[in-house]
Amino acid sequence: MSPLPAHIGIWGELSDVEHELRFVDVAGVRTRVLRAGSGPELILLHGTGGHLEAYARDIAGLAADFRVTAYDMVGHGWSDLPDRPYTIDVLSAHLLGLMDALGIDSAHLSGESLGGWVTAWTAAYHPERVERLVLNTPGNIANKPEVMVRMRDSTLAAVRDPSDETVRRRVEFLFHDTSMVTDELVNLRRAVYGRPGFLRAIENTLVLQDPEVRKDFAWDPAWVGRITAPTLLLWTDHDPTGGLDEAALLQSWLPDARLHVIEDAGHWPQWEKPAEFLRAHRDFLLLGKDPV
């Protein structure tokens, strides 16, 4: 009998972990939430067009040390899709509302891509709610127009035509090793993109790729410098949205930050390199030391 692969499936990752998946009302927004484990509060935020399954390979491991919460941001996944622009302040307010609804006074926050942007903004403007901060491939710190165009066009193409081919291409953009993109992951993303009203929702998210809208929320030392929470920059050597030069730039703006680079990974190190992703979180959040 051949051995089972390391990753059986998204929900197979949680087969031996006590968890709950439910919907929580956040100021009228029906919000899909998964919680597992016990210990210090840790909230995980996905990226543009994503959903909580982005962390499928990590929740069980993190639940051994943390009370983990992963959720679909407003306008994403299977949460509600109210028709309004999902700017960073709106996404941050939704995060804070979820914390209130769950009775979480403060927590560690770990955000990937758009989720990193939201967690950084939250840490800057609501420091009392954030213990420690992990910015996981937050992307396009330099606000490069060509990156904005690529993100907008590839995402819109997949939502307008949520076929296997177009959605697979969008998901593969996130990976260095595209062989790790499973049919299950692609089909989950297709199901999200095919939801009634999701095209309008993704347009409301992609306003952040419009330079005129983005300028009010763009990464800038004026607000990034307000972040007092100890911060880990979790970068990779093959991130298509921003190189190590941008990691160094962001680190220079933050009062208390260290950088850890995961090699041989793209925009989703939490999926491609889960063991290192978990170790970095444990070392930094639980032990208060730099990952090695």
Nearest C-alpha neighbor of 134 from the set 35, 279, 20 = 279
User: Which of 51, 76, 260, 267 is flagged as catalytic?
Assistant: 267
* Catalytic site includes residue 267: yes
Nearest C-alpha neighbor of 106 from the set 88, 132, 124 = 132
> Rounded distance, CA 180 to CA 177, Å?
6
Handedness of CA 188, 189, 193, 198 (dihedral sign): positive
Q: What share of the chain is helix, strand, coil (3-state, %, to 5)?
A: 45, 15, 40
> Rounded distance, CA 282 to CA 162, Å?
37
> Rounded distance, CA 236 to CA 234, Å?
7
Q: Is 174 helix (H, G, I), strand (E, B) or coil?
A: coil
| The token pair that represents 34 in the structure block | 């998964």
Task: Enumerate the active-site residues.
Answer: 267
